[in-house]
């Protein structure tokens, strides 16, 4: 069987030397993979229990149109999310077009003119800069008189509690915590670290709202930030919780009053959660959520594999090959733009869709530098599917994530390495040649 498998990889453009090198790395990872599978099993049972507790039936897959009044499938799906994430309520809608949109709705729904937004985890992800008004943009929070303050992380990537204490003031209404690293090389925060930060902030100001950008983190650990005190968590359905089946959408889960305010911002005052047709998407959203723990496990294995492959070749990787994982993203710093581009070309070449095209950097909306994105995905922009992206700026770090199955994630890493080798940007150890 192994010879047939290797022949299949060779037919996909992976050389014998790349295969040998990858296999030598992968052999040592079996205990890590077993631990990932154990967490996935726990989270799978958690999702099933939430579905059973809310008596999910095939009637909930029926479509609604127009206003979407009395959409029991939509309403029950939101109860499933709330049960799984241990919250009072949830907003799970195709009308939430992306993670950035969901974050904007959560923020603008819960902040008012004169309030201050505090980020104790340094600068936010690039697309949030215009939402907040760090980079001026039409409709930003800053235009509505909402101020912003941030506390940078300490050099070791941990929270600067002393300066957080100084930053919290009478105007501080909402604290936003970005779980994943975004386009930075800082560590991703664990649920435990987030819980400690929330407890500290709540001690300083008990009525402050603590919101966690949960993108890329769902089902990576046994718990979610709402288990450790977060008032809201926010994410995208074309990332982890959509399981690769959700074609669009986002979610906000948390305290009832926070979710209600977000719903009024999403639709209109007086309407809130009562409107918003599901348009026949419910089955995909339910089934994607059901599959999510297993899909996330495959993506995590791919991230661990990538870290160990590129660390062994001498590149800086974040997290490193042995660290615990708190999201599905793997950063690899190459130090030169051509290596970032070659890596992304390899990921694209491994895709089931558009494998024949070459990604190029371009000026994407919401970013302050050219960005290259590789994603031959069934859903446009889906980053739970095999994908990689990078801003073309020093230190030239690429961010790899996704893979609906471990096998596809593995192929992606093999093809990325092959592309780097073919371009003369990486030399394999002698024993692999």
Residue ranges per structural domain of the chain: 2-43+294-432, 63-289
**What integer is the mean pLDDT of 322-351?**
96
pLDDT of residue 433: 57
Among the listed residues 219, 204, 183, the one whose alpha carbon sits nearest the alpha carbon of residue 39: 219
Are 260 and 271 a contacting pair, CB within 8 Å?
no
Which two structure tokens, joined as six digits, stand for 304?
């661990």
Same fold, 2-43+294-432 and 63-289: no
Three-class SS state of 318: strand
Segment (H or E) for 131 = helix 126-132
Quick one: average pLDDT of 61-84? 97
User: What pLDDT is attached to residue 430?
Assistant: 73
Provide mean pLDDT across the span 144-153: 97
The secondary structure of 138-151 as a DSSP string is TT-TGGGT-EEEE-
What mean pLDDT is predicted for residues 399-412?
97
Is residue 368 scored above 70 in pLDDT? yes
* Predicted pLDDT at 432: 59
Q: What is the pLDDT of residues 287-303, one digit of tens each?
A: 999 999 999 999 999 99
Left (φ > 0), alpha (ψ -120 to 50) or beta: where does 73 sit? Answer: alpha
Residue 362 has pLDDT above 90, yes or no: no
**How high does pLDDT run on average in the chain?**
95
pLDDT at 337 over 90: yes
Range 192-221 average pLDDT: 98
Range with the poorest average pLDDT among 116-120, 134-138, 197-201: 134-138
CB-facing half-sphere around the CA of 247: CA atoms within 13 A: 8
pLDDT band of 186, cuts 50, 70, 90: confident
What's residue 193's pLDDT? Answer: 98
Residue 26 has pLDDT above 80, yes or no: yes
Q: What is the pLDDT averaged over residues 49-60?
A: 98
- Percent over 90 (pLDDT), the chain: 94
At residue 183, the pLDDT reads 75
pTM of the model: 0.95
Lowest mean pLDDT among 77-91, 137-151, 280-294, 419-433: 419-433
Cis peptide before 395 (omega within 30 of 0): yes
Q: What is the per-residue pLDDT for 122? A: 94
- The whole-number average pLDDT for the span 242-247 is 98
Q: Which CATH number fits domain 63-289: 3.40.190.100, 3.30.1490.20, 3.40.640.10, 1.25.40.10?
A: 3.40.640.10
- Ranges of H-type helices in 136-267: 161-167, 191-204, 256-266
Whether domain 2-43+294-432 has CATH 3.90.1150.60: the reply is: yes
> Residue 341: which pLDDT band, with cuts at 50, 70 and 90?
very high
pLDDT of residue 214: 97
pLDDT in tens, 245-273: 999 999 999 999 999 999 999 999 999 99
């Amino acid at each position: 069987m192994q010879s047939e498998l290797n022949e299949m990889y060779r037919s996909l453009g992976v050389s014998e030397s790349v295969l040998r090198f990858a296999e030598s790395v992968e052999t040592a990872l079996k205990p890590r993979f077993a631990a990932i599978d154990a967490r996935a099993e726990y989270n799978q049972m958690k999702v099933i229990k939430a579905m059973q507790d809310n008596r999910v039936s095939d009637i909930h897959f029926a479509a609604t149109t127009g206003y979407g009044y009395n959409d029991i499938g939509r309403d029950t799906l939101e109860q499933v999310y709330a049960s799984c994430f241990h919250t009072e309520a949830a907003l799970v809608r195709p009308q939430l077009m992306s993670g950035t949109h969901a974050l904007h709705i959560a923020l603008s729904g819960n902040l008012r003119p004169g309030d201050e937004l505090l980020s104790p985890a340094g600068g936010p992800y690039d697309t949030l800069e215009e939402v907040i008004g760090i980079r001026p943009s039409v409709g930003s929070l800053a235009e509505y008189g909402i101020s912003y303050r941030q506390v940078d992380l300490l050099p070791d990537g941990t929270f600067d509690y002393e300066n957080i204490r100084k930053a919290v003031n009478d105007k501080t209404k909402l604290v936003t915590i970005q779980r994943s690293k975004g386009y930075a090389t800082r560590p991703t925060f664990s649920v435990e670290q987030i819980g400690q930060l929330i407890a500290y902030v709540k001690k300083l100001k008990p009525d402050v709202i603590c919101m966690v950008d949960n993108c890329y983190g769902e089902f990576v650990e046994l718990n979610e930030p709402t288990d450790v005190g977060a008032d809201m968590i926010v994410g995208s359905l074309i990332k982890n919780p959509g399981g690769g089946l959700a074609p669009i959408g986002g979610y906000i889960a948390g305290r009832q009053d926070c979710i209600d305010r977000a719903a009024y911002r999403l639709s209109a005052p007086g309407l809130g959660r009562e409107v918003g047709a599901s348009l026949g998407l419910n089955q995909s959203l339910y089934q994607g959520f059901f599959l999510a723990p297993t899909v996330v496990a495959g993506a995590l294995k791919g991230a661990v594999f990538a870290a160990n492959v590129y660390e062994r070749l001498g590149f800086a990787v974040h997290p490193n090959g042995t660290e615990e994982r708190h999201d599905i993203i793997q950063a690899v710093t190459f130090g030169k733009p051509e290596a970032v581009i070659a890596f992304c070309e390899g990921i694209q070449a491994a895709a089931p869709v558009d494998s024949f095209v070459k990604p190029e950097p371009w000026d994407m909306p919401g970013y302050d530098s050219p960005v290259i994105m590789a994603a031959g995905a069934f859903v446009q922009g889906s980053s739970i599917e095999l994908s990689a992206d990078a801003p073309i700026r020093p230190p030239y770090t690429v961010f790899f994530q996704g893979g609906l199955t471990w096998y596809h994630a593995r192929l992606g890493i093999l093809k990325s390495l092959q592309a780097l080798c073919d371009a003369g940007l990486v030399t394999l150890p002698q024993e692999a040649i």
